[in-house]
Structure 1
Amino acid sequence: MNIVLWVLAGITAAVYLGAGGMKLVTPREKLLENPNLGWVQDFPGGAVKLIALAEVLGALGLILPRALDIAPVLTPIAAVGLAIVAAGAIVVHVRRKEPKAVPVNVVLLVLAAIVAVGRFAG
């Protein structure tokens, strides 16, 4: 089970690190040009950067505490945080009538939840 949790955490972390990192370093004006990021127009620039920072920190939190054996309890807490981010994204995409974005966020929510439960249990 430990290997499965590492794989799921790695996949989830890679997705959030990539997505969050991109949003963190890309100016808001450029994000608005991306048709897959229409939701950005509904949020102030600071909120978008805060979401991006949460994604990056959550991704790091999925891997580093457990890998370095420094406060490993932070790993499931990071997974819960990313599950909350995914749940918020689902709500935003449903409200904006963007059905294509919902399944990806549902998968990320499920992956983060599995990692959270698995790491809290073990």
Structure 2
Amino acid sequence: MNIALWIVTGLLATAYLLSGAGKLIMSKEKIASFGPSAGWVEEFSAGGVKAIGALEVLAAVGLVLPAVLDIAPILVPLAAVGLVLIMIGAAIVRFRRHEIKLMMVDLVYVVLAGFVAWGRFGPESFVG
């Protein structure tokens, strides 16, 4: 179980680090030019897109560093819960925009982050 949690954590951290960094580096207009899957940026200000990117980067770092450095490892499941909340918000935006297929992808991320939160709060906790 611990290996599965680390694999999922690593995949999530990589995906959110890259995604969040892209949101921080690129302009809102550049992100929107990626096509229909990036149309969600129309619903947010440029600052809002940057804030989402910053939260994604922080969550990615929070998924890995506390456990690796053994400094406040309780932050790992808390970061996973944060990602669950971010992705529930993303799914709601997709639903409002009638982007059901993309919403399903967001829900997969909810399940994966939820798995990490459950595993690290419960059976494979770093504390206790």
TM-score, shorter chain, exceeding 0.5: yes
Q: Quick check: 1:62 aligned with 2:58?
A: no
Alignment-derived partner of residue 4 in structure 2: 4
Alignment-derived partner of residue 106 in structure 1: 107
Aligned positions, number? 122
Alignment-derived partner of residue 34 in structure 2: 34
Alignment-derived partner of residue 86 in structure 2: 85
Q: Distance in 2 between matches of 1:84 and 1:33?
A: 26
Give the helix-richer structure, 1 or 2.
Answer: 1
Could you tell which deviates more after superposition, 10-19 or 87-96? Answer: 10-19
Q: Distance in 2 between matches of 1:98 and 1:80?
A: 24
Report deviation, 1:16. Answer: 1.0
Report deviation, 1:100. Answer: 2.5
Structure 2: any 5+ residue segments left out of the alignment? none
Q: Distance in 2 between matches of 1:119 and 1:53?
A: 23
Runs of 4+ in 1 over 2 A off after TM superposition: none
Q: Deviations over 1:28-68 (max 9, x none)?
A: 12112121210101111101100111011101100110111
SS at 1:97's partner residue? coil
Q: Quick check: 1:75 aligned with 2:76?
A: yes
Report deviation, 1:103. Answer: 1.9
Alignment-derived partner of residue 50 in structure 1: 51
Structure 1: any 5+ residue segments left out of the alignment? none
Q: Identity over aligned residues, as a percent?
A: 48
Q: Distance in 2 between matches of 1:104 and 1:24?
A: 22
Q: Distance in 2 between matches of 1:110 and 1:38?
A: 23
TM-score (norm 2): 0.92
Could you tell which deviates more after superposition, 109-118 or 94-103? Answer: 94-103
TM-score (norm 1): 0.96
Q: Distance in 1 between matches of 2:80 and 2:53?
A: 15
